[in-house]
Amino acid sequence: MPENTAPRPSVLFVCVHNAGRSQMAAAFLSHLAADRVEVRSAGSAPADTVNPAVAEAMREVGIDISANAPELLTSEAVQASDVVITMGCGDTCPVFPGKRYLDWQLPDPAGRNVDAVRPIRDEIETRVHALIEEIAPAAQRSRRG
């Protein structure tokens, strides 16, 4: 019998525009946990494109999110996730029983240049490492790059 038969945990990152913080968090989790965690991101009022300064800051650490498209937050996305991490979306995120909710208080990178985005990016990476250790510890050891 396979050693790991547990279902993959699923995480949804939510911010208002899905153009900055949630995009960075989802990209880090996908990159660091590979296929061990199902990752989604969405926004309560999605922007048209990913914030260019955010895309540049992520490119600096070897992760290209420039082709990502912000997505609208849906109740279905929340229901399909084990952990929902909000980042400044206030009360717009639907709440369902049995889901774990975390609120990461992080500055909004909107309107900031890449120099101002880097510390936000680095804080998100730190939090994602801790999240992986908690929900999928073996994935932490498979880090690439």
Confidence of residue 115 (pLDDT cuts 50, 70, 90): very high
Place of tokens 């070897």: 62
Domains of the chain (ranges, CATH numbers): 10-140 (3.40.50.2300)
For residue 85, what are its two tokens? 């991490």
Residue 34 is given by DSSP the state G
Cβ neighbourhood burial of 16 (10 Å; 0-12, 13-18, 19+): buried
User: What is the set of active-site residues?
Assistant: 15, 89, 93
Is 0.75 surpassed by the pTM of this model? yes
Confidence of residue 137 (pLDDT cuts 50, 70, 90): confident
Helix (H) or strand (E) holding 144: none
Identity of residue 70: P
* Cα 26 from Cα 52, distance rounded (Å): 16
